Amino acid sequence: MRLFIRLNNGVPFEHPIMEDNFQQVYPDIDLDNLSSEFIEFKRKPIPILNIYEKNLSVTYKIIDGYCTDVFSWYQMTEMEKLEVDQHLAEELKNQQPTLAREFNIGVTRVK
């Protein structure tokens, strides 16, 4: 499915429009010969951040004649990474008895 986006003074405006919706709203516009008010949009997959990355955001940018997603995010500081590690360690510590009960795991003592 092709996507299109409106331009306002040459800058991507609002959000991409699916081809079917675009044709319904703008039936007189030739999709293969767009006016300067529109440009084809190429969607990029959303990156999956690791636990030490945060604040994923997206902007739209025109690259090589198409508009596309441009993603950005931040690496956590060393202090933030330590806080995440401590939080995960605490969660794991608190879950161990629960997981043992859920899976009927017991301790066998050998004499």
Q: CB atoms < 10 A from the CB of 13, how many?
A: 13
Alpha-carbon span 60 to 15, nearest angstrom: 9
| Band (102; pLDDT cuts 50, 70, 90) | low
In this prediction, residues 1-6 reach a mean pLDDT of 96
Query: Are 36 and 62 contacting, i.e. CB atoms less than 8 angstroms apart?
Result: no
pLDDT digits (tens, 9 = 90+) for 26-80: 999 999 999 999 999 999 999 999 999 999 999 999 999 999 999 999 999 999 9
What's the pTM? 0.73
Q: Which residue type, as a one-letter code, is found at position 5?
A: I
Query: What does the pLDDT read at residue 107?
Result: 47
Query: What does the pLDDT read at residue 33?
Result: 94
Is the Cα torsion angle 93, 96, 97, 99 positive or negative in sign?
positive
| Band (7; pLDDT cuts 50, 70, 90) | very high
**Mean pLDDT score of the chain:** 88
